[in-house]
A and B are shown apart, each in its own frame.
Chain A
Amino acid sequence: MLPFAKAFVVGGILCVIGQILIDKTKLTSGRILVLYVCVGCILGGIGIYQPIEEFGGAGATIPLTGFGFRLAEGVMKEVDSAGILGIFTGGLKAAAGGVTAAVVFAFIVALFANPKEK
């Protein structure tokens, strides 16, 4: 299977699970994102997300579970190299690029864009 197809399927399935949660439980999108990050982080911590990532590639890292997974990997790597203090630095270090990108682009766009009516 092509990497593209694998990513498509894995990413698609993760989104469908989210859609079912939205439609069935009335959870707002903010809560779903929190849930996904935490679940991804835990699955990464216990080693379940790694095979999903190996198979799905971007399909597993682009959904927010992938963000959580990255936090888990980061913290474990940091614990390996820096010991107990790695618990404090590993997670956010791994998230730094994504969060900074979001802040920077949000700020730039907000400077130029105005709220629009639906």
Chain B
Amino acid sequence: MGAKKIGKQTVRLSEGVRIISAASTVSKKEGEGPLGKYFDKVIEDSMFGEKSWELAESRFIRENMELAVQKAGLKMKDIDYLLCGDLLNQCIASTFGTIDFQIPFFGLYGACSTMGESMSLGAMLIDGGFANHTLVGASSHFCGAEKQFRAPLSLGNQRPPTSSWTVTGDGAVVLAKKGNFPCITEITTGKVMDMGITDANNMGAAMAPAAVDVLVNHFQDTGRTPQDYDVIATGDLGDIGRNLVVELMKKEGYTMYPTNDKGGQFTDCGIEIFDKNAQDTHCGGSGCACSAVTFCAFFYPKLMSGEIGRMLFIPTGALLSTTSSQQGQSIPGIAHGVVIEGCGGKEGK
């Protein structure tokens, strides 16, 4: 077993890895949501002046990643590795979006958990001594995702109340060894979990068990409890998924208090990003960008200011394809936990 590994699924980074910048670029609907004022850039036209949804998503990635590097006060050539992914087949949005950067690239697929996956691996690369700077991120596009996974946009069908709304945008962070910045200290990597959910319009229910598995293993591996965190944020479980996590965790012997209770610490990026009643998003936001932009725009500044001392960030993903769905397979979920300590937080530095 590696020297940095603690327990079954968690690693503790020896010196911690700093998140030295975070950038988020979203589209109109996200900009109109409750987090609108926090995003770096809001692009009114979701086509972003491109010819297709796929190219638009690539442009979201390209411009936002450039912004992240610029905010870190670096140049592209200073980045040792680039890790990112999206929802499109063969991750084309990431490939075509980052082709001009010409830096060593690991393309990732973790469905909507990709931000957790890229942050985990990017931090491990630095902590392992393989890189000084890594650029990691994740993106999604509502229209591209609908086209690929569901139905043409102009089809007159109804979205059931359990469905969620794919976030359009890109979130990216630059990781480095040193500096007075929020610090990634531990990583709990999730397993693929399948509890037999087949309804592709109820992703929260499909992914909740994966989040629970990460939570339980994280607490067992580290010996902590949910109350040791100021914020626990899952990726895109939405209302139904979050409630299911609370229930499942109770069975496992842990009490999670949702943020809508006073003093609660457990929230979900999909709940934060949209006003589900005013914006008709039903269960909440989803997609790789959901957790990525919510982290970069909403949680990162709070970690920076010390308002959040310690955070457990758990992007969640549903690992289905249209092929697996049509062949009648159930929907496996995945989740990736990352612990981030804020500047001057609970444990201090």
- A–B contact with Cβ pairs below 8 Å: the answer is yes
Which residues of A approach B to under 8 Å, CB–CB?
22, 26, 28-29, 113, 115-118
Cβ–Cβ < 8 Å partners of A22 in chain B: 158
Cβ–Cβ < 8 Å partners of A115 in chain B: 53, 143, 147, 152-154
Closest to B202 in A: A26
Cβ–Cβ < 8 Å partners of B147 in chain A: 115
Contact of A26 among B142, B151, B199 (CB under 8 A): B199
Contact of A117 among B153, B155, B158, B199 (CB under 8 A): B153
Cβ–Cβ < 8 Å partners of B158 in chain A: 22
Closest to A23 in B: B160
**Contact of A116 with B153 in the complex, beta carbons under 8 Å:** yes
Give bound CA distance, A79 to B143, whole Å.
47
Give bound CA distance, A103 to B124, whole Å.
54
Give bound CA distance, A1 to B142, whole Å.
48
Count A-B contacts at CB 8 Å: 25
Q: Which 7 A-B pairs have the closest CB atoms?
A: A117-B46, A29-B157, A115-B153, A117-B143, A118-B153, A116-B153, A26-B199
Restricting to B320-343, which residues have a CB under 8 Å from any CB of A? none
**Contact of B201 with A26 in the complex, beta carbons under 8 Å:** yes
Closest to B168 in A: A117
Instruction: Give the Cβ gap from A31 to chain B, nearest Cβ, in Å.
Output: 12
Cβ–Cβ < 8 Å partners of B153 in chain A: 115-118
Cβ–Cβ < 8 Å partners of B142 in chain A: 117-118
Cβ–Cβ < 8 Å partners of A26 in chain B: 160, 199, 201
Restricting to B103-158, which residues have a CB under 8 Å from any CB of A? 142-143, 146-147, 151-155, 157-158
Give bound CA distance, A116 to B45, whole Å.
11
Q: Mark B21-65, 1 if CB is under 8 A from A, else 0.
A: 000000000000000000000000011000001000000000000
Cβ–Cβ < 8 Å partners of A117 in chain B: 46-47, 142-143, 153
Give bound CA distance, A116 to B143, whole Å.
8
Instruction: Give the Cβ gap from B198 to chain A, nearest Cβ, in Å.
Output: 9
Cβ–Cβ < 8 Å partners of B199 in chain A: 26
Q: For B53, B154, B155, which residue has the most chain A Cβ atoms within 10 angstroms? A: B154
Cβ–Cβ < 8 Å partners of B146 in chain A: 118
Task: Show 22 A/B contacts (Cβ-Cβ < 8 Å), sorted by A.
Answer: A22-B158, A26-B199, A26-B201, A28-B151, A28-B157, A29-B155, A113-B154, A115-B53, A115-B143, A115-B147, A115-B152, A115-B153, A115-B154, A116-B153, A116-B154, A117-B46, A117-B47, A117-B142, A117-B143, A117-B153, A118-B142, A118-B153
Give bound CA distance, A57 to B158, whole Å.
28
Closest to A32 in B: B157
Cβ–Cβ < 8 Å partners of B155 in chain A: 29
Cβ–Cβ < 8 Å partners of A116 in chain B: 153-154
Restricting to B156-177, which residues have a CB under 8 Å from any CB of A? 157-158, 160
Give bound CA distance, A20 to B35, whole Å.
37
Give bound CA distance, A54 to B183, whole Å.
75
Give bound CA distance, A55 to B53, whole Å.
48
Give bound CA distance, A38 to B154, whole Å.
25
Cβ–Cβ < 8 Å partners of A118 in chain B: 142, 146, 153
Instruction: Give the Cβ gap from B193 to chain A, nearest Cβ, in Å.
Output: 22
Instruction: Give the Cβ gap from B155 to chain A, nearest Cβ, in Å.
Output: 7
Give bound CA distance, A116 to B53, whole Å.
10
Give bound CA distance, A117 to B143, whole Å.
7
Closest to B146 in A: A118
Instruction: Give the Cβ gap from A19 to chain B, nearest Cβ, in Å.
Output: 9
Closest to A30 in B: B151
Give bound CA distance, A26 to B200, whole Å.
10
List 20 other contacts, CB 8 Å, given A29-B157, A115-B152, A118-B142: A26-B160, A26-B199, A26-B201, A28-B151, A28-B157, A29-B155, A113-B154, A115-B53, A115-B143, A115-B147, A115-B154, A116-B153, A116-B154, A117-B46, A117-B47, A117-B142, A117-B143, A117-B153, A118-B146, A118-B153
Restricting to B185-204, which residues have a CB under 8 Å from any CB of A? 199, 201
Closest to B165 in A: A118
